[in-house]
Amino acid sequence: MSWQAADLLKQQIPLLDYLQGQGWKPAQRAASGRLLGLCLLHPDQRPSLLVDPSKNLFYCYGCGRGGDVIRLAELYHGVRFAEAMALLRHWGGIGSLLPDVARFYQLHLQRHAEAAAYLMQRGLQAKVIEELRIGYAPGRCLRGWLMSLGYPLADLQQAGLVNAEGYDTYSHRIVFPLEQNLYGRSIGAAVPHRFLPGSKGGLYAWQKVRHYPEIIVVEGLFDLAVLWQAGFHNVTCTLGTHLNALQFRQLCADHECGGKPRSVYLVFDSDPNGSGQKAAQSLSQRLRAAGINTRRVELPAGHDPNSFFVSGGNAAEFRCLLEKPCQ
Ligand SMILES: [Zn+2]
């Protein structure tokens, strides 16, 4: 894994770019495209550093050292491999922790049949999996990958990705990247819903839906995914029945859809204990008090939007439910 990370970094940061970023100037150019200049690694009087930009390799005739951009960063800064990787990533403005984690989990989705089977059972097809950048956390491999990218263990623990014992915190979980968090849905026996420490953030993908005059609000990401697949792109998700203050403010900001009052369809779970509908009822009262047209949509008993579609419901039937006067 660490070699994959290194290869990726070498593609992202050409050796010549990095050298020039350190103030290096070639003194001679050969017809082959190779460059010769003063060596940055030893006190050099006449150009002895040979750089091959097409191969991304260097060699110094003076001090006898050579290698790739990572080796150069190690020697130039006097650091070890992992620190050199981190320095280069920082220099190149590449990556930040959560997007790197999300990409890693996306790669793992294809490698684990149990994850693909779970997504199929929840009715998700390839296109929406790609669109929502859904991934899979198998457990016991994220930490090593991130450390090979140069992230210190302390940073991973602080982010909640690795626990105090040093193990990945997300294990056997389908992972949806959020703006500032990662939602992990267990496909095993562990607690079903999990977030990293910190806020779950605003409404899901709010920037993409905020301009719609009508917005469908669901509880969960699997609900959102099936609706998106059925052609409802004006859908967002609260990640639970409780809206935080930011999410409520987002829904109430009415200047964002042409000055007209926005209509909100609340499609919460119709679960046996009634908690979803109770939450929808109290939310619809708060939204109406804030001047938002709100409609509470009732699904057939025992269903959430995900199970409605998985059990054979289609877009036309769902549209009927949206339009049916409830209260
Ligand atoms: Zn040298």
Residue 207 sits at the vertex; the CA angle it makes with 204 and 208, to the nearest 5 degrees, is 85
> Bridge-partner residues for 175, per DSSP?
135, 184
Distance 36 CA to ligand 1 centre (A): 11
User: Where residue 257 falls among pLDDT bands split at 50, 70, 90?
Assistant: low
Alpha carbon of 84 to ligand 1 centroid (Å): 18
Distance from the alpha carbon of residue 278 to the mean position of ligand 1, in angstroms: 72
pLDDT digits (tens, 9 = 90+) for 128-151: 999 999 999 999 999 999 988 888
Q: Which helix (H) or strand (E) holds 135?
A: strand 135-137
Q: Residue 327 Cα, ligand 1 centroid: separation in angstroms? A: 79
Q: Cα(78) to centroid of ligand 1, in Å?
A: 14
Q: How many CA atoms lie within 13 A of 156 on its CB side?
A: 25
- Å from CA of 82 to ligand 1 middle: 22
pLDDT mean over 264-268 = 95
What is the Å distance from ligand 1's center to 16 Cα?
16
What's the 298 CA to ligand 1 centre distance in angstroms?
73
Angstrom distance (rounded) from CA 68 to CA 117: 41
Tens digits of per-residue pLDDT, 158-180? Answer: 999 999 999 999 999 999 999 88
pLDDT above 70 as % of the chain: 97
Instruction: Please give the average per-residue pLDDT across 314-318, as a whole number.
Output: 96
Q: What's the pLDDT tens digit per position in 30-69?
A: 889 999 999 999 999 999 999 999 999 999 999 999 999 9
Contact 175, 182 (CB under 8 A): yes
Residue 76 C-alpha to ligand 1 middle, in angstroms? 10
Crossing angle of helices 2-12 and 81-91, in 10° steps, is 30
What pLDDT shows up at residue 5? Answer: 83
Residue 151, φ and ψ in degrees, nearest 5:
-75, 130
> What are the pLDDT digits (tens) for 98-114?
989 999 999 999 999 99
Helices (H), 32-79: 69-77
Q: What's the whole-number average pLDDT of the chain?
A: 92
Q: How far is the CA of 41 from the centre of ligand 1 (A)?
A: 5
pLDDT reading at 295 higher than 90: yes
Q: How far is CA 90 from CA 20, 93, 122, 149, in A?
A: 16, 5, 39, 11
Altogether, the residues listed in the chain come to a count of 327
pTM (predicted TM-score): 0.80
Whole-number Å distance, alpha carbon 83 to ligand 1 midpoint, is 21
Q: Grade residue 181 by pLDDT with cuts at 50, 70 and 90.
A: very high
Band of the pLDDT at 256, cuts 50, 70, 90? low
Q: Residue 1 pLDDT > 60, yes or no? A: no
**237, 224 Cβ separation under 8 angstroms:** yes
Cα 12 to ligand 1 centroid, rounded to whole Å: 24
Q: What is the pLDDT of residue 255?
A: 54
Domains located in the chain, CATH noted: 2-91 (3.90.580.10), 97-195 (3.90.980.10), 206-323 (3.40.1360.10)
Given this model, what pLDDT does residue 148 score?
85
The pLDDT of 249-265, averaged and rounded, is: 78
From ligand 1's centre to the CA of 179, what distance in Å?
A: 45
Expressed in angstroms, the distance from the first to the final Cα of the chain is 56
From ligand 1's centre to the CA of 92, what distance in Å? Answer: 24
CA 77 to ligand 1 center in whole angstroms: 14
Instruction: Report how far ligand 1's centroid is from the alpha carbon of 50 (Å).
Output: 9
For residue 202, give Cα distances in angstroms to 212, 227, 246. 17, 19, 6
Separation of 150 CA from ligand 1 center, angstroms?
Answer: 26
Distance 314 CA to ligand 1 centre (A): 68
